Chain A
Amino acid sequence: MASPKHTLIALVEDRPGVLNRVASLFRRRGFNIQSLTVGPSEIPNLSRMTIVVDGVNTQVEQVSKQLYKVIDVVKVSELTEDESVVRELALVKVSTPPGARSEVIEITSIYRANIVDVAPDCLIVEVTGTEDKVEALIQLLRPYGIREIVRTGRTAMARGASRATPAEEATPGGRQVKHGVS
């Protein structure tokens, strides 16, 4: 049986090396990362990471405890499938053999995906959605000849009022140390 996927959201101080600290932790503790995305949050100097890990609940609990030990990690929360919005973006460069272009465009529009680049013999399709949706579109496009795929990995947010930020700590009180490369 495949281990279930878990989505963790980590709010981290935006210091150089923080991605390395988190990635290194996963490597040395033997945890499997499926995907990791990172970008600025709504709070200055704090970034939010979406980390998808495999494993049973106890392992995931251990991951989150270990994440907390990284000094630059401010908050870790686990999102459940039901109570969160989960999205992934993929760019798919698909061949359009003569006569096939309109079929590809049709499939794309059914999936509410966008065509973002057109060349004589191929298109780039941009699709956003759950991993299942992205996967399904890719399967449908495969017969036409897929030349290249890039996927962002999962990014996620809790539904409703709850947010993956400690409300009382949302304002960074500390000074930002300008570290160099690390």
Chain B
Amino acid sequence: MAKLKGAEIILECLAREGVEVVFGVPGGANLPLYDYLRKYPQIRHVLVRHEQAAAHAADAYARVTGQVGVCFATSGPGATNLITGIANAQLDSVPMVCITGQVVSPNIGKDAFQETDMTGISLPVTKHNYLVMDGEDLAPVMREAFHIARTGRPGPVLVDVPRDIQQQEYEFHWPERVSLLGYKPTLDGHPTQIKKAARLINEAERPLIIAGHGVIIAGAEAELRQLAERAQIPVTTTLLGIGGFPAHHVLDLGMTGMHGMAWANLALVHCDVMVAIGMRMDDRVTGKTSAFASQATIIHIDIDPAEIGKNVRAHVPIVGDARHVLKALLKEVEHRTHAEWLAQFDTWRRDHPSIAIRETEEMLPTYVVREIYEATKGEAFVTTGVGQHQMWAAQFYRFVHSKRWVTSGGVGTMGFGLPAALGVQAAFPDAPVWVIDGDGSFQMTLQELATVAQEKMPIKVAILNNGFLGMVRQWQELFYDRNYAATPMFNPDYVKLAEAFGLAGRRVERKEDVRGAIEWAMETPGCVILDFAVAPEENVYPMIPSGATVHDMIEEPAPARIELPGRSKEETPAWPVPSTR
């Protein structure tokens, strides 16, 4: 057996796992790793400007490819900067392996320069983690890390490697298989439970499917569609389930939850059988749990047994991989029509036009999203930050394909959009990638424009610029007596900013210029930033307030502008707005 340096063993393992792209930043404690990268030309390294972006990019790469995303960071601040991104991947079940350099092993525990206890810090936000103190363990640990990250309910695994372990030579043995006593994910659902579920579905009068990220992770889109079509069950999705069922399908209800479609949320109240697939009953979906789907018998399918019964009681729990379980379920489910139930949705859609865009001279953010959707024919990859723009993108960009919608769900990480776009574009260099972002979110990670420029990635950025931390402002308006504390924001001149990075930019202030600007961005090679000066105080509707029920749903109010106390709408705002160019 060949002897290899620890750093080489890590890279050899990455190569054998089929890793093509790594996102990271070098530093003192991971330099040996970077030193040997030259021997592995098949691994492309993307240098980001902040490690948070490395984690988000690896996360997004994993979401769109289904492969494990990989990122590198050095010890101390480099590694701690990954934490937000790791937490994000953990809550959204994204497979990721993070390799962090650590101070040399004799210095561990001595508060050495750039030492932080990474296995300790990352423990609550990783699926598993390792500190490798013997180089002989490197190959088995790497093998285990990838296995754990990608199987079962996927998640991030952190491998912390002291610099001296990277530098010393060890025998390299590639373990053919991984055997972990305490880790054996259940893939197939229990046959009795599946039969019970099928009987309920066959007997249901008002069935409803609520599909989550698990459908996409398991690659169960086709099975979901078959189930829905055969038994004529309408399908609503969670925020992360978007794309798992094709938009515009006659049975598609769109997103459910706090900002979900009114008819989808009404369906939750009225359904008699709910089939929840690969979703974890997040509070943004359920609202007040005691009132959630109160008339329904709930069939809950999830690969993670701990998700079943955690927030909402399941009448028929099925632990297993969504694809395996749906395949088995399909053998038992019979054809149904449910004409009356489906007709109900026509009424609800008519009475509650959740995504109608009102006619107005103003440039509404919803209008901008719809124009992007139409100009890109719904074929683009879309990443977002977190906030109002994210909800509008979720509502108005309709995804026919799976794995094109990349957003931060559970953790709700502002600043996710641009780094995520890096990951998507690295996976698909020629695909159209749009960042639909808010001015607040964008400013959290805009340093990555340098990475975009360096990598010459043709990412298109649409900033829905309302000069506010918009979602926070909306909550202040609705629940804090319009006290807009710390939400009005100064924005830089994004056109000049784009130019500073050698990129193209345009500010759009009139509704009639929206489509032209989008088309210009699509035609312009390279990265383009579009700064849309949208109506500043637009709210996201429908909205079910936190912890409330569908009966408390707030729908689009009359299109009157909401007056700020002591300021008319014509008055110049108290914060500077970039001039028209």
A179 touching B130, Cβ below 8 Å: yes
A69, B127: Cα distance in complex, Å:
8
Main secondary structure of the interface of A (DSSP, over half): mixed
Q: Is B123 an interface residue (CB 8 A)?
A: yes
Of the listed stretches B247-255, B301-309, B423-431, B495-503, chain A binds B301-309
B141 touching A169, Cβ below 8 Å: no
- How would residues 51 to 84 of chain A score, 1 for a CB under 8 Å from any chain B CB and 0 otherwise? 0000000100110011011111111000000000
A182 touching B131, Cβ below 8 Å: yes
Name the residue on B nearest A58 (C-beta): B309
Given that A28-B124, A177-B141, A182-B119 are known contacts, is A72 also in contact with B182, CB under 8 Å in the complex? Answer: yes
A36: min CB distance to chain B, Å: 17
Of the listed stretches A12-20, A90-98, A112-120, A151-159, chain B binds A12-20
A80, B310: Cα distance in complex, Å:
23
Name the residue on A nearest B108 (C-beta): A181
Name the residue on B nearest A21 (C-beta): B123
- How would residues 329 to 369 of chain B score, 1 for a CB under 8 Å from any chain A CB and 0 otherwise? 00000000000000000000000000000000000000000
Q: How many B residues touch the partner, as a band?
A: 20 to 34
Instruction: Out of A13, A58, A177, name the residue touching B181 (CB < 8 Å).
Output: A13
Residues from chain B with Cβ under 8 Å of A28 in the complex: 124
The tally of residues in A whose CB lies under 8 Å from a CB in B reads 32
A17 touching B306, Cβ below 8 Å: no
A71 touching B305, Cβ below 8 Å: no
B306 touching A65, Cβ below 8 Å: yes
A20 touching B133, Cβ below 8 Å: no
A19, B305: Cα distance in complex, Å:
22
B309 touching A62, Cβ below 8 Å: yes
A73, B123: Cα distance in complex, Å:
15
B179 touching A65, Cβ below 8 Å: no
A173, B184: Cα distance in complex, Å:
13
Q: Is B132 an interface residue (CB 8 A)?
A: yes
Given that A62-B310, A66-B306, A169-B181 are known contacts, is A178 also in contact with B134, CB under 8 Å in the complex? Answer: yes
B124 touching A24, Cβ below 8 Å: yes
Given that A24-B123, A24-B124, A72-B182 are known contacts, is A179 also in contact with B131, CB under 8 Å in the complex? Answer: yes
Name the residue on A nearest B319 (C-beta): A65
A11, B158: Cα distance in complex, Å:
24
A56: min CB distance to chain B, Å: 12
Residues from chain B with Cβ under 8 Å of A71 in the complex: 127-128, 148, 180, 182-183
A75, B175: Cα distance in complex, Å:
25
Residues from chain B with Cβ under 8 Å of A61 in the complex: 309
A74 touching B181, Cβ below 8 Å: yes
- How would residues 14 to 49 of chain A score, 1 for a CB under 8 Å from any chain B CB and 0 otherwise? 000100110010001000000000000000001000
A12 touching B309, Cβ below 8 Å: no
Residues from chain B with Cβ under 8 Å of A179 in the complex: 130-133, 137
Name the residue on A nearest B117 (C-beta): A182
Residues from chain B with Cβ under 8 Å of A173 in the complex: 179, 181
Given that A20-B123, A71-B127 are known contacts, is A13 also in contact with B309, CB under 8 Å in the complex? Answer: no
The residues of B with any CB-CB pair to A shorter than 8 Å are 105, 108-109, 119-120, 123-124, 127-134, 136-137, 140-141, 144, 148, 175, 179-183, 304-306, 309-310
The residues of A with any CB-CB pair to B shorter than 8 Å are 12-13, 17, 20-21, 24, 28, 46, 58, 61-62, 65-66, 68-75, 169, 172-175, 177-182
With A175-B140, A177-B140 already in contact, 19 other A-B pairs whose C-beta atoms are closer than 8 Å: A13-B181, A62-B306, A65-B305, A65-B306, A66-B306, A70-B182, A71-B183, A72-B182, A73-B182, A74-B182, A172-B181, A175-B175, A177-B137, A177-B141, A179-B137, A181-B109, A181-B133, A182-B130, A182-B131
**What are 27 A-B pairs with beta-carbon distances under 8 A?**
A12-B182, A13-B181, A17-B131, A24-B124, A28-B124, A46-B181, A62-B306, A66-B306, A68-B182, A68-B306, A69-B306, A71-B128, A71-B148, A71-B180, A169-B181, A172-B181, A173-B181, A177-B144, A178-B133, A178-B134, A179-B131, A180-B105, A180-B132, A181-B109, A182-B120, A182-B129, A182-B130
